[in-house]
Amino acid sequence: MVTRYGSKLAQAWKKAYERFLRIRGTPQEIALGFALGLFVGMSPFLGFHMAIAVFLAALFEWNKIAAAVGVWISNPFTIPLIYPLTYLLGARVLGMNEVFFFPQSMDMDWILEMIRSAPETISILTLGGIIIGVPLGVVGYFFAYVAVNKYQAEIKQKLAERKALRKEKIRKKRAEKPRKIRNIIRKGASRRKSQG
């Protein structure tokens, strides 16, 4: 049962990867857009990731689709890992000894305290997101650049081979055409001789 779902998940990832490679644009534009998406995906602005990434990609003239794909590093499966990590890293960098912990009971006082500390929490998450997002974006850029460049080079190679085959077929047809014409003329001349 697990292998069946595992194989479906692997197929879904493979299909998504192949679609990513087919995004139109230069390898550099696509890689920059993807790196930007990864970087924005580390920010604490969940729900606005895609809008921020696409806006910035349009502003910098990078690939908007790749940016939108990159922000999906923050998804329902990875958010429980990303946000605590960015919070702890941001708190450590700021030298905070006291980090946030969930209380045993979530009452109204706790909710009010959360609202009061929201700006501080967002700034900590943003700092941690920047610290993680920069190296992640750099690694993502090189991954995307190499993958897209390789894919596009393979496509160019295949297209060049097809073009060469078409040219060869056309050359052969043109070479056969005079022969056919000569054969038709010969047949016509032999018919005339046999009739006359």
Q: Which long-range contacts (CB under 8 A, 24 or more apart) does 102-109 make?
A: none
pLDDT tens, position by position, 160-189: 888 888 888 877 776 666 666 666 666 666
Residue 67 identity (one-letter amino acid): A
From residue 52, how far is each of 45, 56, 67, 144 by CA, in Å? 9, 6, 9, 20
pLDDT class for 1, splitting at 50, 70, 90?
very low
What is the domain count for the chain? Answer: 1
Tell whether 49 is covered by a domain. yes
Structural domain boundaries enclosing 16: 2-145
Tell whether 182 is covered by a domain. no
Summary mean pLDDT of the chain: 83
User: 0.75 cut: is pTM over it?
Assistant: no
Tell whether 117 is covered by a domain. yes
Q: Is the dihedral of CA 56, 59, 60, 65 positive or negative?
A: positive
Give 38 or 15, the one with higher predicted confidence: 38
**Average pLDDT rounded to a whole number, residues 16-39:** 85
Residues 6+ apart with CB under 8 A from 96: 124
Tell whether 189 is covered by a domain. no
